[in-house]
Amino acid sequence: MGRRLKQLVYGLLYLAILGGIVFGFYLIFIRPAPSCFNGVQDQGELGVDCGGPCRAPCVPERGVTPVDGVAVLPIDVGHVSLLAQVQNPNLNLAAWSFTYTLSITDKTGNPLHSLYGHSYMYAGEAKYLFAVKVDMPPATIGRADIQIGSTTWVYVADMGDTPSLAVQALETMTSSSSLTVSGVVANNDITSFPQVTILAIFKNQSGSIVGLSQTQISNLSLNEKRGFIILHPPLGDVNPGFTQVFTYALRP
């Protein structure tokens, strides 16, 4: 009886070892490897070939969204600037890049001009998209619109948070020949930035936007402070105290 029990135990042990070898052989050589490119939502993915074990994030239900219409801001009889605010409502996804189109139509709705651009947005960010000094007489324009195109989404960890850039010593000066904004931008972030865009928005006495201009700073180092000057042709009704300045920079 004892001998038969030993034989049974040894037999079960051999079967277990053989089964482990066969199963390992199947895992390594036979079973298809998990794929993020097979067009099927499997292996714990949150969508088809996205999320979960797949590096690519899933496209969110709400993408980069315009907040209001496009403001047409006259500069002189032959030029305008365009300003549109957009937002990224997603708190866990950032737009590494996206395309957009600013379309201008006349007073009867006929197309006059289209401007194409690309930008980026951090998670939960709201920002302005703009075109400065467009060669277009204000009197011919009926309205302007914005359309958001293709977007490349990444996880927050892959793009980081909104850069920590501070504007200091801001001053707006008006004269008969120009409107000048000066200040200092301080890099309080943990990295340097190859390029920083500085946008100035001008408002009138009632707080409505009447103009914009911008400048760029290259190679802003960690802990560096850099002065800037932004120029705009004179505006008839502007309140220097209402000037707003925004900084935009993509992490390297």
| 4-8, 175-179, 209-213: the lowest-pLDDT one | 4-8
| 154 and 175, same domain (yes or no) | no
- 1: in domain: no
Q: What is the mean pLDDT of the segment spanning 107-115? A: 95
How many residues are listed for the chain in this entry? 252
In a domain, 191, yes or no: yes
Judgement on whether residues 198 and 228 belong to the same structural domain of the protein: yes
- What proportion of the chain, given as a percentage, has pLDDT over 90? 74
Do both 103 and 150 map to the same domain? Answer: yes
Q: What is the pLDDT of residues 179-199, one digit of tens each?
A: 999 999 999 999 999 999 999
Residue 126: the pLDDT is 97
Residues 101, 172, single domain; the answer is no
pLDDT of residue 192: 98
Domain of 239, in residue numbers:
165-248
Which residue, chain included where needed, has tokens 């089964």? Answer: 19
- Return all residues near 37 (Cβ < 8 A) that are at least 6 apart: 49
Burial of 42 (0-12, 13-18, 19+ CB in 10 A): middle
**53 occurs within a structural domain:** no
Mean pLDDT, the chain, rounded, equals 89
CA 58 – CA 90 distance, rounded (Å): 12
- Model confidence at 109, in pLDDT bands (50, 70, 90)? very high
Contacts of 54 (CB under 8 A, 6+ apart): 36, 45
Are 139 and 205 part of one and the same domain? no
Mean of pLDDT values over 159-188: 96
- 179 and 219 in a single domain? The answer is yes
Query: Residues 164-179: what's their mean pLDDT?
Result: 95
Strand 93-105 relative to strand 143-155, pairing:
antiparallel
Q: How far is CA 91 from CA 34, 57, 60, 128, 159, in A?
A: 29, 13, 11, 18, 12
**How many domains does the chain contain in total?**
2
pLDDT digits (tens, 9 = 90+) for 55-78: 778 878 889 999 989 999 999 999
Q: Which of the pair, 46 or 176, is modelled with greater confidence?
A: 176
Residue 250: is its pLDDT beyond 70?
Answer: yes
Residue 226 in contact with residue 177, Cβ under 8 Å? no
Same domain, 70 and 119: yes
Same domain, 139 and 199: no
Q: Are residues 192 and 152 in the same domain?
A: no
Residue 181: count of CB within 10 angstroms of its CB = 25
Residues 170 and 131 in one domain: no
Residue 32 belongs to some domain of the structure: no
What's the pLDDT band for 8 if we cut at 50, 70, 90? low
| CA distances from residue 162 to 88, 166, 224 in whole angstroms, order as listed | 12, 12, 18
Whether residue 178 sits in one domain with residue 243: yes
The alpha carbon of residue 50 and the mean position of all alpha carbons in its chain are separated, in whole angstroms, by 20
Higher pLDDT, 19 or 127: 127
- Together in a domain, 170 and 155: no
Task: Kindly report the CATH number assigned to the domain that includes residue 215.
Answer: 2.60.40.10
27 — pLDDT class (breaks 50, 70, 90): very low
143 within some domain: yes
Q: Band the pLDDT of 221: cuts 50, 70, 90.
A: very high
